[in-house]
Amino acid sequence: MISFNAEQRFIVTGASSGIGEGVALLLNELGASVIAVARNVERLSAMKAKAKHPENIFIEPKDLAEDIENLPNYVKSLKEKYGKFQGLAYCAGIGGIRPLRAVEKETIQEIFDINYFAPVFMAKGFADKRNNNGKGSSIVILASAGGVRGEPGMTEYSGSKGALIASMQSIARELAPSYIRVNCVSPTLIQTQMADEIARTYAEGKYPMGLGEVSDVANMVIYLLAEQSHWITAQNYIVDCGVI
């Protein structure tokens, strides 16, 4: 059975909503300490209010799309405040459906900033051996099934997630000799705030077991963060009810 202790600290980005909130609450329920990162303080506080052990949730408001190159220093500053980290769950992200005729360099940049550049630089900060617990540390990144199969209108989103999956596999192989693992979890439609936007392109009847829920993804993320998955790295797990 998976359990953690309060000395095992995890950075969870996107912890104010959806999958990130689910991951933060489940980690906390299983005994870990969570450094919860997102922009919206009210929603972060609401998440903390739902936690089983609220004393082990630490709210860190931050816009991860700003000053991206400095994110490794940001991770270092969190380490100095809280101590070394056992794991990073990068669940922040934005959706976006735009037909190719409306795609501009700036619209691609906006999606890539939070969906690609920020996770790469957060992983860079986490991978610094001064910031993690060494052997057994784990990074899990929320990518998307859209990163392996593009649907109409998803040039930017699918591009950001496909690039993310490819880069994380490279980072995983780079960090494997240090026993630090890196995996992606790639859902299709999950019922969150983001899904309202994405849902327009995916018919509900497409899923033989119904729409996915946050817990379906959060449990996979927790497994990949935990010691129980200690020989698993450089993988991209598609959570899709068999649709792709």
Ligand X SMILES: NC(=O)c1ccc[n+]([C@@H]2O[C@H](COP(=O)([O-])OP(=O)(O)OC[C@H]3O[C@@H](n4cnc5c(N)ncnc54)[C@H](OP(=O)(O)O)[C@@H]3O)[C@@H](O)[C@H]2O)c1
Q: How far apart are the C-alpha atoms of 147 and 170, rounded to whole Å? A: 16
With binding defined as CB under 6 A, does residue 65 bind ligand X? yes
At closest approach, how far in Å is the CB of 27 from ligand X?
A: 15
Based on the residue annotation, tell me whether 157 is a catalytic residue of this protein.
Answer: yes
Residue choice 93, 96, 125, 162 for contact with ligand X (CB under 6 A): 93
The interface mask with ligand X, positions 112-131, x = CB under 6 A, is --x-----------------
Q: Candidates 4-12, 60-68, 99-107, 128-136: pick the segment binding ligand X (CB under 6 A).
A: 60-68
Site for ligand X in 72-91 (CB under 6 A): 91
Nearest C-alpha neighbor of 223 from the set 19, 47, 12, 27: 27
CB–CB of 117/66 below 8 Å? no
Question: 37: alpha, beta or left, given left = phi > 0 and alpha = psi -120 to 50?
Answer: beta
Q: Any contact of residue 162 with ligand X (CB under 6 A)?
A: no
Work out whether 142 is an interface residue with ligand X (CB under 6 A): yes
**Catalytic residue from among 157, 179, 202, 207:** 157
Query: Which ranges of the chain does DSSP label H, i.e. alpha helix?
Result: 18-29, 41-50, 71-82, 105-112, 118-127, 155-175, 193-198, 214-225
For residue 183, state whether it binds ligand X (rule: CB under 6 A).
no
Residue among 119, 118, 97 nearest 107 (CA):
97
CB atoms within 10 A of CB 97: 16
Tell me the catalytic residues. 157
Binding site for ligand X (CB under 6 A): 14, 16-20, 38-40, 43, 62-65, 91-94, 114, 142, 144, 187, 189-190, 192-195, 198
